[in-house]
Amino acid sequence: MQQISNYINGQLVPPLSGNYLENLNPAEGKVYSFLPDSDERDVEAAAVAAQAAFLSWSQMPLAKRAAILLKIADLIDRDLEGLALAESVDQGKPVKLAKSVDIPRASANMRFFATASMHVAAESHLMEDEAINYTTRTPVGVAGCISPWNLPLYLFTWKIAPALASGCTVVAKPSELTPMTAFLFSKLCMEAGLPSGVLNIVHGLGKKVGQAIVEHPMIPAISFTGGTVTGKTIAATAAPMFKKLSLELGGKNPNIIFADCDFEEALSTSINSSFSNQGEICLCGSRILVERSLYDRFVSEFVKRTRALAVGDPLNEATRLGALVSEGHMQKVLSYIELAKQEGGTIACGGERVKVDGRCASGYFVAPIVITALPQSCRTNQEEIFGPVVTIMPFDAEEEVIAYANSTAYGLSATIWTNNLKRAHRVAHHLKSGIIWINCWLLRDLRTPFGGMKQSGVGREGGWEAMRFFTEAKNVCVKL
């Protein structure tokens, strides 16, 4: 079976411990490869390599640095099929989704930030005839990038691309649940001629390797995407060390549907925003709020289409929902279905384990779940489940639905369906979410800031915000 290596100082190397962890294929429930069980010694080697490479990388002419990152994007495009297969096998998602979203967006991340780095404007401020101020931005140094398992290569490059494009060098850790595409990516970096030490990838457990990155004194900036609980742990470690911190955490996103919406578009997109990637996307709309006059019709149609979704072998092009990422995560999702019943919910469809024939007989498959008749304040409606689970509730007034939408500890994204322009902008104005879509979902312009409010995160990624995160500003004031 394949043994994944760390990528440190331009080389593919084994963990210094010599130990490996099992990497499962969640669609089969079986081990299919091994990843390094690295520890703080591997992180130390990576940080030293990144520090040694920083001066030359940060001083490399922008066009040359960008050319290397664009070459990596080209290689991702070239290997799209193989990377998509690896992403699907590692995470359980339909290979069709990996081909159409994960891998193309990983390439787009590299391409966008490579070119953005050549067009960053600086600022100056004139104080009449007395003085002139100019502001420069320089890379912070070695950036620590820690990414989750739900969109493995997509979110891995979402951090690495702006960090490298800003002139930082990187020590990165992908999730131990989905290490494969990061390993394949490291080989593409070598092929593209990325200089040794510029990017270092250390595989292993969060509490060991992730924690070692967060607390390493040579790494002044940490960019993290993952659970809110882990985000709190990271913040507690990084804050006393005065590190720059970007935390992209969980969400419990409202999907607000007014009666005057384009019904077919709202319905079909809501199926996607509810169940894409088995609901394992932080931007999924897991709380559907429907204006009462449309409620019965919407629920009836939505349940019918949910029941029709093909759950099965992720390598089958017809599959819409693949396997949940691990047995532990599947049990977490199933436990919330039991909770919903205890809280008085009605399971309109789904919630049972799905037995798939053939090679996937032992995989982690759950039928997509629609729950109604729950109060807004119950745990099922307040806590992030991160699976193919949505609740649907009616509302009567605009003020009521805004209060519902804003009633959780999260504030990541929200979706609004209405053809009343004024109402769309008015509701968007009052929602406490960092990302809002009106009559669409997951439409992304990489120039825009990305991130959540409240417990959905700290800071913003995406576009110039990401470039700023990995640099620090200096203002010089010159007397005329």
Let me know if 282 is a catalytic residue. yes
Stretch that binds ligand TXE, among 29-37, 90-98, 210-218, 439-447 (CB under 6 A): 210-218
**In contact, 156 and 172? CB cutoff 8 Å:** yes
User: What residues contact residue 365 under an 8 Å CB cut-off, 6+ apart?
Assistant: 27, 311, 312, 321, 322, 323, 324, 353, 354, 355, 356
**In contact, 346 and 369? CB cutoff 8 Å:** no
233 makes contact with ligand TXE (CB under 6 A): yes
- For residue 182, give the amino acid letter: A
CB closer to ligand TXE, 183 vs 298: 183
* CA nearest to 16, candidates 26, 28, 8: 8
* CA nearest to 204, candidates 44, 87, 39: 39
211 makes contact with ligand TXE (CB under 6 A): yes
Binding mask 295-334 toward ligand TXE (x if CB under 6 A, else -) reads ----------------------------------------
* CA nearest to 255, candidates 267, 238, 243: 267
26 makes contact with ligand TXE (CB under 6 A): no
CA distances from 386 to 97, 225, 276, 336, 451 (A): 17, 14, 11, 10, 17
382 makes contact with ligand TXE (CB under 6 A): no
Six-digit token pair at 442?
């997951």
CB closer to ligand TXE, 146 vs 256: 146
| Catalytic hit among 28, 87, 215, 248 | 248
CB closer to ligand TXE, 234 vs 389: 234
Q: Which of 234, 267, 366, 371 binds ligand TXE (CB under 6 A)?
A: 234
Q: Which of 384, 392, 441, 471 binds ligand TXE (CB under 6 A)?
A: 384
| Catalytic hit among 145, 189, 282, 360 | 282
Residues 129-148 binding ligand TXE (CB under 6 A) are 146-148
**In contact, 117 and 389? CB cutoff 8 Å:** no
460 makes contact with ligand TXE (CB under 6 A): no
Stretch that binds ligand TXE, among 7-15, 62-70, 219-227, 356-364 (CB under 6 A): 219-227
DSSP lists the bridge partners of residue 41 as none
207 makes contact with ligand TXE (CB under 6 A): yes
Q: How far is the CB of 162 from ligand TXE (least distance, A)?
A: 17
Let me know if 248 is a catalytic residue. yes
176 makes contact with ligand TXE (CB under 6 A): yes
User: What residues contact residue 119 under an 8 Å CB cut-off, 6+ apart?
Assistant: none
The bridge status of strand 20-25 relative to strand 30-36 is antiparallel
270 makes contact with ligand TXE (CB under 6 A): no
Contact residues toward ligand TXE (CB under 6 A) are: 146-150, 173, 175-176, 206-207, 210-211, 214, 225-227, 230, 233-234, 248-250, 282, 384, 386
Catalytic residues: 248, 282
